[in-house]
Structures are given as structure tokens and as C-alpha cells.
């Protein structure tokens, strides 16, 4: 009888190589031993996250085993975020993204509606990238 088993792997260091053994035991006393090999790659860009009106939020997870301080920036002044957030080990948080005209914006100019949220921390070789799309 064929069975399937869903396995979730959550690494805690970019670039690390993991080797381990997965042991699955059945009620009938059978034991299945499977080698597991994995490598953690930098995070892939995600999105676009659609923001409406004055903004919205993006879900972010700290994948590390320790509380970590993250720096957040955007590449477009129409999107604003709190610059620093401390996120608990393996915890998720909502990053609030505000959308609106930056100071000094000339009236009558078309407003840009796309941008990127970049999340970085010490020890990570690449940022987390979230594409943003606003619907004013």
C-alpha cells in the first residue's frame, strides 16, 4: 500500500548545507530510513502585494532561531515603512506599508503605483524582496 508523508524543512542560515536521516516507523513495526540533504538558498522575491487606499501590510517571518533586528526600506518614496523591526525567533509579523504622496510632490504628476520593500539583517547575504502594487 502506497503512503505519502509531507515534510516541511525550515532552515535557519542562508548558504548552510544540511545532511540528516529521516526515520519513519509504521504501526506494523516497519522502519523506513531516508537520507535528507538540503541547502538553504537566499530568499526569492515575492509578490506583487496589492495595497489599496492608504496602504496595507506584508507578512514577514523571521526564519532564524534567535530574535533578530531587521531593517526595512522601500525603493519608492510613495511607499513608507517603519525602518526597524525586531522579530522573535521563528515568529511572523505584519509589516505595515503606507502609500501616499511624499513631501514636495508636484500636484498633477502621475503617481507611481509600484515599488519594492527590502528587508535586511546582519548575517544575511541577500535581502528579502517584496514587490508592491498600489491601487489608489
Residue 72's pLDDT is: 97
Residue 107's pLDDT is: 66
Q: What is the pTM of this model?
A: 0.79
Give yes or no for residue 103 having a pLDDT over 90: no
- Residue 46: count of CB within 10 angstroms of its CB: 14
pLDDT tens-digit readout, 65-90: 899 999 999 999 999 999 999 999 99
Per DSSP, 4 falls in state -
Amino acid at each position: 500500500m502506497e503512503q505519502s508523508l509531507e515534510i516541511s524543512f525550515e532552515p535557519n542560515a542562508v548558504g548552510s548545507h544540511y545532511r540528516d536521516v529521516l526515520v519513519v516507523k509504521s504501526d506494523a513495526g516497519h522502519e523506513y530510513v531516508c537520507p535528507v540533504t538540503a541547502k538553504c538558498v537566499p530568499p526569492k522575491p515575492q509578490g506583487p502585494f496589492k495595497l489599496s487606499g492608504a496602504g496595507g501590510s506584508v507578512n514577514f517571518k523571521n526564519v532564524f532561531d534567535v530574535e533578530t533586528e531587521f531593517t526595512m526600506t522601500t525603493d519608492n518614496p510613495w511607499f513608507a515603512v517603519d525602518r526597524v523591526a525586531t522579530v522573535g525567533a521563528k515568529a511572523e509579523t505584519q509589516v505595515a506599508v503606507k502609500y501616499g504622496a511624499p513631501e514636495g510632490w508636484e500636484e498633477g504628476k502621475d503617481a507611481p503605483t509600484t515599488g519594492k520593500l527590502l528587508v535586511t539583517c546582519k548575517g544575511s547575504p541577500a535581502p528579502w524582496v517584496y514587490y508592491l502594487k498600489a491601487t489608489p
